[in-house]
Amino acid sequence: MAQSPTGIIPEEYMSGRYTANVMDFLERLHVDGATKHELLLGWAQEVGVKISASQISAVRETGTDALGPKT
Protein backbone atom coordinates (compact mmCIF):
# COMPACT_ATOMS: atom_id res chain seq x y z
CA MET A 1 0.00 0.00 0.00
CA ALA A 2 1.25 3.50 -0.78
CA GLN A 3 2.23 5.55 2.25
CA SER A 4 1.44 9.18 2.94
CA PRO A 5 4.19 11.72 3.56
CA THR A 6 3.87 10.88 7.26
CA GLY A 7 4.76 7.29 6.45
CA ILE A 8 1.76 6.07 8.45
CA ILE A 9 -1.55 7.33 7.05
CA PRO A 10 -2.48 5.63 3.76
CA GLU A 11 -2.02 7.76 0.67
CA GLU A 12 -5.65 7.30 -0.36
CA TYR A 13 -6.67 9.34 2.72
CA MET A 14 -4.56 12.35 1.76
CA SER A 15 -7.54 14.62 1.12
CA GLY A 16 -9.59 16.72 3.50
CA ARG A 17 -12.73 14.81 2.60
CA TYR A 18 -11.36 11.77 4.44
CA THR A 19 -11.26 13.27 7.94
CA ALA A 20 -13.58 10.62 9.38
CA ASN A 21 -11.59 7.84 7.69
CA VAL A 22 -8.31 9.18 9.07
CA MET A 23 -9.78 9.45 12.55
CA ASP A 24 -11.04 5.86 12.35
CA PHE A 25 -7.66 4.68 11.04
CA LEU A 26 -5.82 6.43 13.89
CA GLU A 27 -8.27 5.22 16.54
CA ARG A 28 -7.49 1.63 15.52
CA LEU A 29 -3.72 2.21 15.38
CA HIS A 30 -1.88 0.62 18.31
CA VAL A 31 0.19 3.61 19.48
CA ASP A 32 0.05 6.12 22.32
CA GLY A 33 -2.31 9.09 22.33
CA ALA A 34 0.40 11.73 21.81
CA THR A 35 1.55 9.98 18.63
CA LYS A 36 -2.03 9.80 17.35
CA HIS A 37 -2.45 13.50 18.13
CA GLU A 38 0.70 14.40 16.19
CA LEU A 39 -0.27 12.21 13.24
CA LEU A 40 -3.73 13.79 13.07
CA LEU A 41 -2.33 17.32 13.21
CA GLY A 42 0.34 16.50 10.63
CA TRP A 43 -2.27 15.03 8.29
CA ALA A 44 -4.54 18.05 8.73
CA GLN A 45 -1.70 20.44 7.97
CA GLU A 46 -0.66 18.42 4.93
CA VAL A 47 -4.15 18.35 3.40
CA GLY A 48 -5.17 21.83 4.58
CA VAL A 49 -8.09 21.15 6.93
CA LYS A 50 -8.81 22.35 10.45
CA ILE A 51 -9.23 19.80 13.20
CA SER A 52 -11.32 20.61 16.27
CA ALA A 53 -10.27 20.02 19.86
CA SER A 54 -13.01 17.40 20.18
CA GLN A 55 -11.67 15.51 17.15
CA ILE A 56 -8.17 15.56 18.64
CA SER A 57 -9.49 14.33 22.00
CA ALA A 58 -11.53 11.58 20.38
CA VAL A 59 -8.44 10.20 18.67
CA ARG A 60 -6.03 10.80 21.55
CA GLU A 61 -8.28 8.99 24.04
CA THR A 62 -7.87 5.76 22.07
CA GLY A 63 -4.11 5.67 22.61
CA THR A 64 -2.42 2.72 24.23
CA ASP A 65 -1.62 4.97 27.18
CA ALA A 66 -5.33 5.72 27.71
CA LEU A 67 -8.23 3.46 26.82
CA GLY A 68 -6.46 1.62 24.01
CA PRO A 69 -7.37 1.25 20.36
CA LYS A 70 -10.91 0.50 19.22
CA THR A 71 -11.58 -3.11 18.37
Evaluate if residue 3 carries a pLDDT over 50: no
Structure confidence at residue 2 (pLDDT): 42
Rounded average pLDDT over 37-65: 95
Buried b (16+ CB within 10 A) or exposed e, 43-68: bbeebeeebeeebbeebbebbeeeee
Has residue 49 got a pLDDT over 90? yes
Q: pLDDT digits over 9-44, tens only?
A: 998 999 999 999 999 999 999 999 999 999 999 999
The domain segmentation of the chain, as residue ranges, is 11-60
